[in-house]
Amino acid sequence: MSQQLQTPKEDKLWVLVSALKNYATDSDIERIAPSVSRLIDSWTTKGKFVLSGPFNDNKTGMAIFQGTKEEANSFFEENKRVTSDVLESHLYEWGAMPILSIF
């Protein structure tokens, strides 16, 4: 009888970088804001870490959050579902972004 070794799903830090699309308006931002807030709230109620905010240019923002690869992909897909008509977003694993190593 062979036993398969199961590796635990490891939480990692992920970075979601988003930028407004050129044609996005203030009303577009106001429209998606409640959905983005709900997404972040649902993440924190699971006991997961998330920190998010805009950059000074008021066109880009970043969220740093904790989760497994599967959870991160799910978070990213849900974010895209509610924001893709207004924001261009990209997901990175924390260690895959060299610029973050200076923080």
Q: How confident is the model at residue 97 (pLDDT cuts 50, 70, 90)?
A: low
Give pLDDT, residue 7. 52
Helices (H), the chain: 26-45, 69-83
Could you say which DSSP state residue 7 is in? Answer: P
- The pTM of this model reads 0.81
Phi, psi of 36 (to 5 degrees): -65, -40
Residue 9, SS3 per DSSP: coil
> Tens digits of per-residue pLDDT, 57-93?
989 999 999 999 999 999 999 999 999 999 999 999 9
Whole-number Å distance between alpha carbons of 47 and 65: 11
Residue 55: strand pairing partners: none
Q: Which CATH architecture has domain 12-102?
A: 2-Layer Sandwich (3.30)
Give pLDDT, residue 95. 79
Looking at per-residue pLDDT, the higher value among 6 and 73 belongs to 73
Q: How confident is the model at residue 21 (pLDDT cuts 50, 70, 90)?
A: very high
